[in-house]
Structures are given as C-alpha cells and as structure tokens.
Amino acid sequence: MTSPVRVRFAPSPTGLLHIGNARTALFNYLFAKHHGGTFVLRIEDTDLDRSTDESIHHILNDLRWMGIPWDEGPDCEGPNGPYRQSQRLPLYREHADRLLQQDRVYKCFCSPERLEALRKQQLSKGKMPRYDGRCRSLSREEISTLESAGQRPVLRFRVEGGPILFEDLVHGKMSFAPEGIGDFIIFRSDGMVAYNFACVIDDHFMHISHVIRGEDHLSNTPRQVMVYRTLGWEPPAFAHHPLILGPDHSPLSKRHGATAVSQYREEGFLPGALLNYLVLLGWTSPSGEEVLSMERVAEDFSLKGLSKSAPIHSRKKLEWLNSLYIRKEEGEALLKRLLPYVEKAGLSTEHIDRPTLVRMAEILKENLVVLSLVGEYLGIFFDEKFSFEEAARAIVMTPVHRETLRSILPIIENTPEVTEDVWPSLHHYMEEKTGKKGKNLLQPFRAAVTGKTRGPELAKTLPLIGKERIIKRLKLALEIS
C-alpha cells in the first residue's frame, strides 16, 4: 500500500449508535491501526429535521466507552475539518455550481407529488423507480419563469455513459448499468446537500484512501464513482461488508432485542467483550481463536479476511464472551464495574468495608453473564434483599428436605465459626449426621441459606454470610408454611 491509509466512520446523528454501525467503526479503526494509518470520525448531520446534538454526544460517548478512538473528528479538529457536514455547506455549493456550469448538473422543478405518482406508475409496470428526466432539457427562459414563480428546484446529476465499473475489496468486480440508476439529486430544494454528493466531496478533501462500510451502501457507490470521475478525482478503494442479521435471517432490528450500543452498556456488557464479539461477526482470526484482544486483532486484521456472507447475531455467544471477560476482572476494577448495579438496586454499601465488598464481587462474578444480573444475587449478602425465590421455597417446604434442615441447624449452632477452611470438615460432618449426600444435602441447604437454587460456590459464600445469619435463615426456612 503506497499512499497513507486514511479511513472514516461517518454516522448520521439521528438516534443511538447501532451495533451494526459500531462494527463498521471497528473495522475502520482496526484497518487504520494495522496499517499505521488515520481514523477519521465525521458526523453526517445534513438531515436537519432528525439530527441532534444529543445523538452526537451519545455516539461519541459510546465509541469512547467501546475503546474506538479517532485521530481526527468533531472534538479533536485536524487539518481537514470541520468534521460536521452541516458546517461544510459552502464547499459543497462551490462544487455543485462548478458542475452546474459544466451542464453535468441541472435544475429540476418536479413536485414531490409528481415524483410519487411516477414511482407508483413504474412499480405497477414492474420497473425499477427512477427519475424520467422531465426537467433535463429545460431552457434558461423556462427555468427563469419557474424560479420567478417561487418554485425552488433540486439539483440533479446527469447520469450518462456506459456501465459504472469499480473493484470492491470484499465482493470483487462490480458493474452497474446507468439506465438502472437515473439522474439523482445532489442538492435538495431546501438548500441542503444530498448524501451521495456530500460524502464524495468530504472523502476527497479529507484524503480518504479506503471507504469501509455496510453493503447497504453498495447501490450508492456507482453514483459516487460518477461524481468522482466527473470532478476529475480518483475514487478511494471501496469495501462493503455484509450486514448483521437476526436469528430469523432478517436485518437486525429492535424486534430481535437490544440493538444499540448504549443498551448493551447499560445491561452490563463489557466493552472488550462487545468489541471481541463484533469483530468475529464476519471476520475470522488466522489462529482460529475466538477470545482476542484488540491489539492482537489489529495485528492480523485484513479486508481479505472479511466474509461475503452475512453474519447472524447470537445473543448466547455474546453472553458467553462477556462472562469470560467478567471473570477476568479482579479486585477494585471488578468492584468498580459492579457497584453502579448494586446502587441501582437501592442498596447502600457504605457500612461494608472495601475488602469485604471486593470478596463479594469476586464470588459473584462466576455466575454473571452480564453485570446487571448481580441484582439477582444481592439477597445472598444483603438482608434487605433476601427472600426465597419460588423454586427455593418449594424445596425447603418439601418434608424430606425440612427434616434435613432440622438436622443441619444444631450442627451450625455448635460450629464455632463458618470459614472456607472449616467448610470441608463441616460438610463431611453434615453428611454423617443427616445421612444425606450431594444434591440431597446441598440443595435444601443452599435454598435455605441463600434463598436460591443455584449461585456462587458455598465454600466461599458462607463465610461472608456468617454463622448468625446462616442460623437465622435456616430457622426462617423451617417456619415457612
């Protein structure tokens, strides 16, 4: 690769950052990092009715949280800014006027009503909707008359010539017939630039070498290639990766569950796990490994490694990866991640010393696939949240298990202290006295002491509950009727 690699991620700030778009940002970032290039963040906010500063704020925060930094962008201006399209209108207008003077662009006064009727007519005949060129040959006098009457035109690009050819780095050689495209709008009647024109101007003046984006943009590329060539510019290299599909093989949407990065963040997915998962959707490590650091991925990443097949979103696989990343967290770092979810459950931890909180976190992490699940286990350690879940209640009410608990109670009462070191001998003694082993012993004991049928390892959990509370909960279980 002879020229410097410069890539861009260009979201429209009309909502939350979708994980599909985050994946596109990740691919661009990894490609830039692999080649020692530059990653540009550009905000495409030309849809003034739907674009908001709040959305921009969320997008930037989500990218930072995920660990996808940019080298140039709206909050770290570089030599090719500004990095918001709404602030670059004079540049677009200058080049639109240039094409207008060259007669490569013309003014179109067709009303939205006429265009909609034309679209329906073409569809009814089984044709692909496209503009019919009605305003292509308007005279200067006709244009002047229409403008004097207050009609505001759009600017349309004249589509002419033979097939539009380009090489896609994922899909290979591409060819589009011009008659299937039709003259397209580059400036709207409200004076705002259209997407296919603005991104060409920006990518050229921001010196973008590679455009890596979803294949939903593949149909836009021939239009953009025509604009490049008409302006006498060399197009960048294009790579269109397949989009993420839901389990039913339809485009991933809200009906499949969470789709926004912020939703996964709030639920308690770790950024490293989400990055790891997203990169595996359509890319395979040469080593075949699945648990990968981004540093490792950046070393191996290539566009040739992107699959042509659409990946299927798997919540189960994401949770599996996330559970691995949670288990890798330790000490204060782990506690810092969990505390917001503890506080969200309405619990104050100020009365508990830090080392004890860290021990609780270390114990609970083995049972978490997302951090927010910690709320389900807080009752084990916090009396104000303790209760018997339905299945645990049914267990302790079973006559045979009740008898087991009655036998266990005096054993605990006569044990000086319940510690992790004492547990093996205590467990053995309970087996001797009750005549029960394995599930028949531990299932009712766990249900009575923790209020749950499953959870963290008892040997580590019991010392933090403490002898007094173990006794109290055994008695409480025996009182259930």
CATH classification of the domain holding 445: 1.10.10.350
Residue 344 within any structural domain of the chain:
no
Percent of the chain exceeding pLDDT 90 equals 93
Domain membership of residue 402 as a residue range: 387-479
Is-above-0.75 flag for pTM?
Answer: yes
Residue 331 within any structural domain of the chain:
no
254 is catalytic: yes
Q: State pLDDT tens for residues 160-183.
A: 999 999 999 999 999 999 988 999
Return the structure tokens found at 254.
Answer: 């809200």
pLDDT of residue 180: 87
Domain boundary among 209, 224, 241: 241
Work out how many domains the chain is built from and give that number: 2
pLDDT of residue 34: 97
pLDDT of residue 66: 97
pLDDT of residue 383: 92
**pLDDT tier, 479 (very low <50, low <70, confident <90, very high otherwise):** very high
Domain boundary among 241, 275, 296: 241
Indicate whether 154 pLDDT > 80.
yes
CATH classification of the domain holding 142: 3.40.50.620
Residue among 33, 120, 173, 254 flagged as catalytic:
254
Average the pLDDT over 59-71 and give the result. Answer: 97
pLDDT of residue 2: 60
Q: State pLDDT tens for residues 76-127.
A: 888 999 999 999 999 999 999 999 999 999 999 999 999 999 999 999 999 8
Residue 381 within any structural domain of the chain:
no
Q: State pLDDT tens for residues 432-452.
A: 999 999 999 999 999 999 999
Residue 6 within any structural domain of the chain:
no
Q: State pLDDT tens for residues 237-260.
A: 999 999 999 999 998 988 888 899
Residue 227 within any structural domain of the chain:
yes
Residue 144 within any structural domain of the chain:
yes
Domain boundary among 241, 259, 292: 241
Residue 444 within any structural domain of the chain:
yes
Percent of the chain exceeding pLDDT 70 equals 100
Question: Of 258, 301, 262, 257, which is closest to residue 280 (Cα–Cα)?
Answer: 301
Indicate whether 408 pLDDT > 60.
yes
Indicate whether 1 pLDDT > 70.
no
